[in-house]
Structure 1
Amino acid sequence: MPHSLASVLGDRRVACVQGGSRFVLELSDGLAVTIGSDFRLATAETGAAGPALVEHFFPGLTSEAGGGLLKLPGARITAVATTPAGGLHLTFDCGLTLTVPPDTTEEPWAVTGPTGPLFTALPGGYLTA
């Protein structure tokens, strides 16, 4: 029986982040989330600490991870969701949420393991498993 994306990524820790033409979240147990399109990183909703902050990242334009992305190593994924159009939402225990919107022309994100691809968001919202 195929695993769900949430069961594969949930409770994994981020080992490191890598920038470049594609952004890579290296996770525990040899898993990786590769992001090839623009994405955003947001803090928790408005609360006692002030308003939510949102950072936008463009993997093709930057070579190094910076900003809030530097808070991700060591963080645990607490929630995983996809949209019907192929977007990805990852919530971390450090209070950050990473969101990759769907893309109609590129593969916006993929999850790989030690033996190869596990999930890929295809252009137009299709998800392969």
Structure 2
Amino acid sequence: MTESIAELLAGRQVQRVRAGTGLWLELSGAVSVLIDSDFRLLAAGGVEHFYPQLGTGVSGGLAVLTGSHLTGAVVSPAGGLELAFDSGRRLVVPPDTAEHPWQILGPDGPLFTAEPGGYLTG
């Protein structure tokens, strides 16, 4: 039986955040989240917008994610991804009809991949 994304990510700690032309969240247990599309980071103080294709640095709310734990993960029917953290922040990746906006990776490769048009492989 395949684990759901929520089950796979629940309780994992963000060990490292890397950014550039994509965003990497390296999690405990040798699991990573790769985001190759625009995303938002929501917090009580507002919303930060990030555009990895233009180059993204680890600043603002992204810098605070290191050490936090995932408390929830939801995939929308259209293929968007929302991650919730114990810091109260939420990272939201909207669906993308042309690209692979995000992936969940394990030590042996992709575990879940958002495909164009909202499909999910895993």
How would you bin the TM-score normalised by the shorter chain?
over 0.9
Q: CA deviation at 1:64?
A: 1.9
CA RMSD of aligned residues (A): 0.9
Q: Which residue of 2 aligns with 1:121?
A: 114
Are 2:69 and 1:76 equivalent residues in the alignment? yes
TM-score normalized with structure 2 length: 0.97
Asked whether the 8 Å contact 2:22–2:55 carries over to 1, the reply is no
TM-score normalized with structure 1 length: 0.92
Tell me whether 22-31 or 54-63 shows the greater mean CA deviation. Answer: 54-63
Q: Which residue of 2 aligns with 1:112?
A: 105
Percentage of matched positions with identical amino acids: 52
Task: Name stretches of at least 5 consecutive residues in structure 2 with no aligned partner.
Answer: none
Corresponding letter in the other structure for 1:28? S
Corresponding letter in the other structure for 1:9? L
Q: Which runs of 4+ in 1 moved over 6 A?
A: none
Q: Which residue of 2 aligns with 1:16?
A: 16
Between the aligned partners of 2:118 and 2:56, the Cα distance in structure 1 is: 27
User: Against the structure 1 CA distance between its residues 42 and 63, is the aligned structure 2 distance closer, same or farther, given a 3 Å change threshold?
Assistant: closer
Q: Which residue of 2 aligns with 1:93?
A: 86
Q: Which residue of 2 aligns with 1:49?
A: none
Corresponding letter in the other structure for 1:65? V
Asked whether the 8 Å contact 2:83–2:92 carries over to 1, the reply is yes
- Aligned partner of residue 60 in structure 1, secondary structure: helix
Give 1 or 2: higher strand fraction: 2
